[in-house]
Amino acid sequence: MAVNFDDIKIGDAIPLYTSGPITCTHLVRYAGASGDFNPLHHDQSFAKMIGLDNIIAHGMLIMGIAGEAVTAWVENKYLRKLSVRFLGMTEPVNWNDIENTKGRATITVSGIVVKKYEENGEKRIHCSIVAKDALGSRKLDGFFIVALP
């Protein structure tokens, strides 16, 4: 479904986007792709040594999920800016106990259109976004700007 500037109203919600469970495998794959091999993302002993209960997901992985939420709604060629502020850590699920995770490691991204305007000959919308886990813990908030036909 194509999104058009004239069909969007201030206060409209963007479609909710929910990721699948984030697992240790995702963290390893993200580390390889990004080059971020900080042990707090893969070494349980290190995480405990620095006072964490578990390893944590890369913040930029969570930002990537927020970006997926945006581009699931609007084609990425229209994206002009994505800006976030990190708010909380995300622990991966243990596949051996996935039934008991209660969705903690799934991320749901929501957002609202807060402004419509024209700039540089483009019709743009500015939307706020927030990413939370299934327990309601906020992982990031921010905004994005897209130029729409």
Rounded Cα gap, residues 102 and 88, in angstroms? 18
Rounded Cα gap, residues 139 and 136, in angstroms? 9
Range(s) of the domain holding residue 80: 5-22+57-148
Structure confidence by residue, pLDDT tens digits, 56-93: 999 999 999 999 999 999 999 999 999 999 999 998 87
What confidence score (pLDDT) does residue 128 get? Answer: 98
pLDDT beyond 80 at 38:
yes
What confidence score (pLDDT) does residue 39 get? Answer: 94
Dihedral sign computed on CA atoms, order 20, 22, 24, 28: positive
Q: How many domains does the chain have?
A: 1
pTM of the model: 0.90
The answer to whether residue 41 sits within a structural domain is no
CA distances from 63 to 9, 58, 102, 121 (A): 25, 9, 22, 29
Q: What is the CATH number of the domain that holds 73?
A: 3.10.129.10
